[in-house]
Amino acid sequence: MDDRRQWSTGDRWEGEVGGWRCVRHRTRSLAPFYFHFLFSPPLVVELHPFSRRRAQEMPFEKIKVANPIVEMDGDEMTRVFWKSIKEKLIFPFLDLDIKYFDLGLPNRDATDDKVTIESAEATLKTVLRQDLIVTLEYEAAVDLMVDEVIDDGADLDEARVKEFNLKSMWKSPNGTIRNILNGTVFREPIICKNVPRLVPGWTKPICIGRHAFGDQYRATDTVIKGPGKLKLVFEGKDEEVELEVFNFTGAGGVALSMYNTDEVSNLHPFVTFTSIRAFADASMATAYQKKWPLYLSTKNTILKKYDGRFKDIFQEVYETEWKSKFEAAGIWYEHRLIDDMVAYALKSEGGYVWACKNYDGDVQSDFLAQGFGSLGLMTSVLVCPDGKTIEAEAAHGTVTRHYRVHQKGGETSTNSIASIFAWSRGLAHRAKLDDDARLLDFTQKLEAACVGTVESGKMTKDLALLIHGSSVTRAQYLNTEEFIDAVASELRARLSA
């Protein structure tokens, strides 16, 4: 453009001169630009060192990440945009060594699901995940979220076994990995000012901690096909316990046996489990770090011994290790019944950590995500007992419905924010372990770019529906790739600022 002969009929002239963006406010006129410098009324000229376009064109010196991460790739639609995230938001800016594991269903079946165990073992050294998992070399991971390999995290069922011609109905990779890592999953909303909340009273975030070990997710269940007596038997070194559970009559029914551990449990050659005690310690450490109160919810009035054990260990850990720290910080710990806690959560303003048993955390984390706006606006990080190993993941499933459209060549508008935050949180942990200030700054700007893009009005259809309702038009949202491109543009601008 010829900056010396810029014509305009508006009240504002904007151009670039030698890499400087010049904005000149003036009266309406058709006179040449240079004429106004001589004869126009007083002017206001804004000089900006770099325009957004120039910033995007500036070369970026890649950040060399000192140690690797483990990446666990997943399935369906999340696998599609996970690839775009890496190509547009990660690889252009980071020189990164990745230990890659394909946890897509075909490869899990081909390896008899051994790849899932291998990825979890690698995660003990690194961690990062798409919808399955990514591990940081090691002690940090990012997960794509192959979640249960079914739509929105549903469990593998007989229909899917037939569809993929699987050898077996493989267990959830999430459950396998979490049981090996033995951590606590902390989920927290990603708040965008222009995205309305279904629970408007939630003015502060709520961080939910899900104990990611045992209970229903390591249970043994069976179908009882006729009359008979069900017993629970424990054969210990020093004692034997036999409990009569139920006498079945007629057609029978179903039965379930589940467990958890107080502390040391050598269920895996690479891991020492501290289970309930580690859950308590991780929850209290998170609450103390955030300076938020902590609540534990159970149903100890019904499961007096099982849930009562959680309640007792939490209280012991609090009294012996955290009480003085909490009091000095002006926060507190309290146990509540799960039904009472759900009611309290709905009427609260937020601003606390909510520790849940495995199943409760699975359910209530989705409840919180939707209440804050969307499951696609939720971070998810598994914190392990060693305090060094984490697994960052997206909280949603594999979005099968969108993938079916994608397979047919149709346009999709799938929200990738949670997966982008899986990368940012995993890499942020890598940065803290490596004491890498530049990498940490990158992760913060990546998250800010996501939020800033949405708050500027550029978003996927799910968020546009929350803002505009059922009357949303195609012009009001971006498709899957357009949104990632918009975030990339915003990220480059922030990195060049």
pLDDT for the residue 2: 43
Over residues 164-223, the pLDDT tens digits come to 888 988 888 887 887 788 778 999 999 999 999 999 999 999 999 999 888 998 899 999
Greater pLDDT, 483 or 6: 483
pLDDT for the residue 139: 53
Over residues 84-106, the pLDDT tens digits come to 999 999 999 999 999 999 999 89
Winning range, highest mean pLDDT, from 42-46, 190-194, 325-329, 396-400: 325-329
pLDDT for the residue 147: 36
Tokens of 245: 């559970």
Neighbouring-strand partners of residue 206 = 352
State the chain's mean pLDDT as an integer. Answer: 83
Closest Cα to residue 413, out of 458, 471, 366? 458
pLDDT for the residue 49: 45
Distance of CA 434 to the CA centre of its chain: 22
pLDDT band, residue 320 (cuts 50/70/90): very high
Over residues 336-386, the pLDDT tens digits come to 999 999 999 999 999 999 999 999 999 999 899 889 988 889 999 988 877
pLDDT for the residue 126: 54
pLDDT band, residue 394 (cuts 50/70/90): confident
* % of residues, the chain, pLDDT over 70: 79
CATH superfamily, region 53-188+377-497: Isopropylmalate Dehydrogenase (3.40.718.10)
pLDDT for the residue 265: 53
What is the rounded average pLDDT of the residues 5-14?
Answer: 43
Q: Is 137 a residue whose pLDDT tops 60?
A: no
pLDDT for the residue 56: 55
pLDDT for the residue 11: 47
Over residues 224-258, the pLDDT tens digits come to 999 999 999 999 999 999 999 999 998 999 999 99
Tokens of 464: 């546009």
Window from 134-148, 206-220, 447-461, 482-496 with minimum mean pLDDT: 134-148
N-terminal to C-terminal alpha carbon distance within the chain: 24
pLDDT for the residue 28: 42
- Whether residue 128 contacts residue 427, with contact meaning beta carbons closer than 8 Å, is answered with yes
Q: Is 42 a residue whose pLDDT tops 50?
A: no
Q: Is 80 a residue whose pLDDT tops 70?
A: yes
Neighbouring-strand partners of residue 233 = 242
Structure-token match 């209440």, residue found = 371
Tokens of 37: 């410098």
pLDDT for the residue 57: 59
- Whether residue 450 contacts residue 419, with contact meaning beta carbons closer than 8 Å, is answered with no
CA distance linking residue 294 with residue 291, whole number of Å? 9
Q: Is 135 a residue whose pLDDT tops 90?
A: no
Q: Is 153 a residue whose pLDDT tops 70?
A: no
- Whether residue 35 contacts residue 15, with contact meaning beta carbons closer than 8 Å, is answered with no
What is the rounded average pLDDT of the residues 137-166?
Answer: 56
pLDDT band, residue 36 (cuts 50/70/90): very low
Question: Is the pTM value of this prediction over 0.85?
Answer: no
Tell whether 143 is in a known binding site. no
pLDDT for the residue 20: 44
SS (H, E, C) the chain: CCHHHCCCCCCEEEEEECCEEEEEECCCCCCCHHHHHHHCCCCEEEEECCCHHHHHHCCCCCEECCCCEEEEECCHHHHHHHHHHHHHHHCCCEECCEEEEECCHHHHHHCCCHHHHHHHHHHCCCCCECECCEEECCCEEEECECCCCCHHHCCCCHHHHHHCCCCCCCCCHHHHHHHHHCCEEEEEECCCCCCCCCCCCCCCCEEEEEECCCHHHHCEEEEECCCEEEEEEEECCCCEEEEEEEEECCCCEEEEECCCCCCCEEEECCEEECHHHHHHHHHHHHHHHHCCCEEEEECCCCCCCHHHHHHHHHHHHHHHHHHHHHHHHCCCEEEEEHHHHHHHHHHCCCCEEEEECHHHHHHHHHHHHHHCCCCCCEEEEEECCCCCCEEEEECCCCCHHHHHHHHCCCCCCCCCHHHHHHHHHHHHHHHHHHCCHHHHHHHHHHHHHHHHHHHCCCCCHHHHHHHHHHHCCHHHCCCHHHHHHHHHHHHHHHHHC
pLDDT band, residue 35 (cuts 50/70/90): very low
What is the rounded average pLDDT of the residues 127-149?
Answer: 42
pLDDT for the residue 87: 97
What is the rounded average pLDDT of the residues 7-30?
Answer: 44
pLDDT for the residue 125: 64
pLDDT for the residue 9: 41
CA distance linking residue 302 with residue 315, whole number of Å? 19
Angle between helices 480-496 and 76-85 (to 10 degrees): 30
Over residues 418-468, the pLDDT tens digits come to 999 999 999 999 999 999 999 999 999 999 999 999 999 999 999 999 999
Tell whether 97 is in a known binding site. no
Greater pLDDT, 451 or 12: 451
